[in-house]
Structures are given as structure tokens and as C-alpha cells.
Amino acid sequence: MGDVRILRAGMVEHTVMAEEMKRLQQLRIENRITDTLIMVEHPEVVTVGPKAIRDGVVVEGYPTVNTDRGGGITWHGPGQLVAYPIIKWEVEEQSVRAIIERLEDWAIDALEQCGISAYKDKSMQGAWVDGHKVCSIGLSFLHWVSRHGMSINVSTPGTRVEDLEGCGMTAGIHTSLSQLGYKADSEGRHMGLERMEEALIETCEKHLGRVPLEPVEWEPGVLV
């Protein structure tokens, strides 16, 4: 079992992080870095995947950017924790469906660490709480090194997530933990991005099969 380096990036524009993911993916392909997990928050943007582009989906009232990850449209913004695994998957791990299921199980386990009961829905990948989708997953691969990842809506603003129609679902299906009333974990701790990140790191080894190293701050363009 190898290690995975944890990079805390804070608030970063999606376009900036998209380029950084490509850079790190190439470095991982070349074995110049170890497996890496980026924890980040983005200013508001809706990413538009290949399927949505092909279908001519128009997103009104939101800033948008095209992306090459799987899936349709996905909201990103303040109060959402995004985890990007730049991981070289071993031969025995090389199944896109199985990797997506690992991420789903990881999100569900992390939520349960916080006292929040979560589950899968066979009709749509991700993690669900109380009948609403709070976690979205979309990946791309090059030489079996993954890029992009999953997002968990923790305390998103207003109804920006709820009003968006995406991934084949009507408005109101997506929401955040805070909108569902989960503002503290089972121990009374504030249910914010810091607590969610902590839970993901605690459950990382079990689901990703890599031992998380001590988190470090991300620096743009630095070889890690």
C-alpha cells in the first residue's frame, strides 16, 4: 500500500485548478510525484461536461466553463468541498465503474463519520442524504491516472445549488448538508468544510487503498 499526499488549496478558480490537475496528472504518469489528493473550494461556476455539450445544454444565470470529465453539468462554489484524486491506479484497480464506486463509498463513510446517514441511488452516481443528492462524482483518466473527482455540498449559499437543473435531474434534487439541517456533526462540532475534509482524510486509506500523509498547503506550479 502506497502513500497519498494531501494538498490543501483553499479557494481557487476552477480554470486554474483544471490546469494544475493536468500538470500533476502528467507528473504522476511520469512517476515524478506520488499519488496526490487535492482538497479545494471554488468560486461559483457550473462545469459543463461532454454529454451536456453534445446535448446543447444551456445554463442561464450561472458562470460556466467546459470540462472534460464524465457527466453533464455540475455546480461548484463556496461551501462545497472538492476532492481531486490524482492517482495512478494499479492494474487490479483499473475499472472506471469500480473506482467511481470507491469514491461513492468513501463519501458515504466520511458523512457517516460525522453522524450523517448517506446512501447510493442506482439511477445516478454520487451520495444522497434524506432524498437529496449532496455529492457528485466525475472523472477522466490518462494512462489510468485519474483527474477531476468528487464534490460534497456542505454549506452552499442560498439556493444556488437547488435551483440548478443538472445531470438529468430537476431543480431541487441537489442540495447541501446545511439546507438539510446538518449544521453540526454527531459530537456537536460545526459541520463545515474543515470537518468534512477531516472525515475524508480519516476514511481515505480504507477506500482509496493509500495511506494519507500529513496535509500540506498547495503552491501553484510547485513539484510536490
Active-site residue list: 167
CA angle 4/49/71 to nearest 5° reads 70
Radius of gyration of the chain from its Cα atoms, rounded to whole angstroms = 16
- CA gap 103, 126 in Å, rounded: 8
- CA gap 62, 47 in Å, rounded: 10
> What residues are paired with 137 via a beta bridge?
150
Contact 14, 44 (CB under 8 A): no
